[in-house]
Amino acid sequence: MSDIFISHITEETEIAQKLKDLLNNVFTSRYEIFVCSDRQSIVAGTEWWESIKHGLKTFKTQILMISEDSENRPWVLFEAGAGWMRKESEQVVVIPACYGGKAKGNLKYPISSLQAINLNNSDDIKYMLTSMLQVLDSNLLNKNDQINILLNKFTNEINEFANWVIDYSKNFELKKRPKTLKI
């Protein structure tokens, strides 16, 4: 069973892994996080398609990693559709997380109808974590107080991650520029 399913394109594995690391730190590894590009979610010899299907069937929270490059890619859209269908009948949350030249204000429909966050914004990351905890841990007593204590404890890490995303997005934009020939 996966509690959290991070949907991303292979070329952007680095940011998905950084997000997984942040989630494991903040949530003290209490929840299983599925990231198909890491070697923990799908181990050697495993039928990868079956692992992905199982992750899509069992998650409680899905994070759609949306950049300019990923927003139209078939796998991200496929996985988003699986989450969309589950949220119609189950208590799951599907969160578009924007970076790499994409912002929550310029998502395409139907993903734009979901409450999205920008990964380069610490307040948005805290909002995402709060939303996730409300689904992941229904047993929290004094939920808002406990969530605030948790978020305050990890403010530095959240800020560092948001700043890392800003740098990542700058490099992302540089890679997309055409190379010019200097004479």
Please tell me the predicted confidence (pLDDT) of residue 40. 80
81 has a pLDDT exceeding 60: yes
Rounded Cα distance between 4 and 34, Å, is: 6
Of 174, 23, 40, nearest in space to 97 by CA = 23
Please tell me the predicted confidence (pLDDT) of residue 38. 81
Domains of the chain: 4-176 (3.40.50)
177 has a pLDDT exceeding 60: no
Task: Catalogue the long-range contacts made by 139-144 (C-beta closer than 8 Å, 24 or more residues apart).
Answer: none
Higher pLDDT pick, 1 / 66: 66
Strand runs labelled E in the chain: 4-7, 33-35, 61-66, 93-98, 117-118
DSSP state of 95: E
Rounded Cα distance between 112 and 116, Å, is: 7
Among residues of the chain, what percentage have pLDDT more than 70?
90
> Which pLDDT tens digit goes with each residue over 13-42?
999 999 999 999 998 888 999 998 887 887
**Position 91 confidence tier, pLDDT thresholds 50, 70, 90:** confident
176 has a pLDDT exceeding 70: no
Higher pLDDT pick, 42 / 138: 42
Please tell me the predicted confidence (pLDDT) of residue 1. 73
165 has a pLDDT exceeding 60: yes
Q: Which residue has the tokens 């993903």?
A: 111
For 36-84, the DSSP string reads TTSTTTS-TTS-HHHHHHHHHHH-SEEEEEE-TTTTT-HHHHHHHHHHH
- Give the phi and the psi of residue 140 in degrees, each rounded to 5: -60, 125
Higher pLDDT pick, 28 / 96: 96
Rounded Cα distance between 43 and 23, Å, is: 21
Please tell me the predicted confidence (pLDDT) of residue 78. 94
